[in-house]
Structure 1
Amino acid sequence: MPSVSDTYIENRQRVQPTHTNNYEAAHGGNIVKWMDEIGAMSAMRHAGETCVTARINELDFERPIPQGDTCIVEAYAYAAGRTSVKVRLRAFREQPRTGDREQTTDSYFVFVAVDEQNKPTPVPELTVDSERCQRLRQAALEHDPEE
């Protein structure tokens, strides 16, 4: 059975002029798209199946990501239902020359595993088998709007 750590993914995207709004910061829609893509990959690592977005719970944009900075998206599964996988997603801005990082966005997505006919399919239990898994899961549960 997959563990929380097995589902952890971190991805980087340099914020280019085509990703920005009138204020020379990453457009919120681009950030959500990047989060959705990485979140689905995390859910698929857990489910071993294709996963589709079912719900976005709370999406808090705390600060902008300026053009030229790097958007880092962190995702990991922290809970599983019969056919669903809950994924914690956070985005950060990182200055490419210094590596200084600060959180910009926080959210919780729910994905559903589907089979070849796009019908919901069962997912395995999610294991919490290390101290790191416990820390990640606890951090997600403390802020999950559904818990």
Structure 2
Amino acid sequence: MPSVSDTYIENRQRVQPTHTNNYASAHGGNVVKWMDEIGAMSAMRAAGETCVTANIDGLDFKRPVPQGDTCVIESYVYAVGRTSLRTRIRAYRESPRMGERELTTESYFVFVAVDADGNPTPVPELEVAGERCRELRDEALAGEPDESR
């Protein structure tokens, strides 16, 4: 049985000129794409199956990620249903030289595990063992949009 912390993934993407909009910051569509990719990886770690995006809830862009900065994506699964996995995903802008970080975007994605034929398939229970797992889960549950609860 996978734990919440087993699903934690953090990845970085350097924001290049081809990733930017007219204001020299990461295009929102690119940020969402990076979030979706890393979120799916977290969901697959929990499910042990291919996972596809079913819902994006409460996508909030708080500030831009400037060209030349690094976009850090943090993702983990904090709850599961029969075939679904609720995933918290946050993006940060990070200075590549100093490592200073600032939250830019956050959301909750729901992924569904699918079999080889693309049909929903059951996922294992998610273990919440240890303080780190509880902190991650509780933080995600506290910030969930109301309609997710």
| TM-score class, shorter | over 0.9
User: Which residue pairs with 1:103 in the alignment?
Assistant: 103
In 1, the alpha carbon distance for the partners of 2:126 and 2:109 equals 16
For residues 72-92 of structure 1, give each alpha carbon's deviation from its aligned partner in whole angstroms, at most 9, with x where no partner exists: 000000000000000000000
Deviation at 1:21, TM superposition (A): 0.1
User: Which residue pairs with 2:59 in the alignment?
Assistant: 59
Moved beyond 4 Å, runs of 4+: none
Deviation at 1:50, TM superposition (A): 0.1
Equivalent position amino acid for 1:92 in 2: Y
Equivalent position amino acid for 1:121 in 2: T
Paired residues for 1:1-147 under 5 Å:
1-145=1-145, 146-147=148-149
Q: Which runs of 5+ in 2 are unaligned?
A: none
TM-score, length of structure 2 as denominator length: 0.98
Instruction: Report the identity percentage.
Output: 73
Deviation at 1:18, TM superposition (A): 0.2
For residues 7-31 of structure 1, give each alpha carbon's deviation from its aligned partner in whole angstroms, at most 9, with x where no partner exists: 0000000000000000000000000
Equivalent position amino acid for 1:130 in 2: G
For residues 98-129 of structure 1, give each alpha carbon's deviation from its aligned partner in whole angstroms, at most 9, with x where no partner exists: 00001000100000000000000000000100
Report the aligned-residue RMSD.
Answer: 0.3
For residues 56-84 of structure 1, give each alpha carbon's deviation from its aligned partner in whole angstroms, at most 9, with x where no partner exists: 00100000000000000000000000000
Equivalent position amino acid for 1:114 in 2: V
In 2, the alpha carbon distance for the partners of 1:104 and 1:26 equals 11
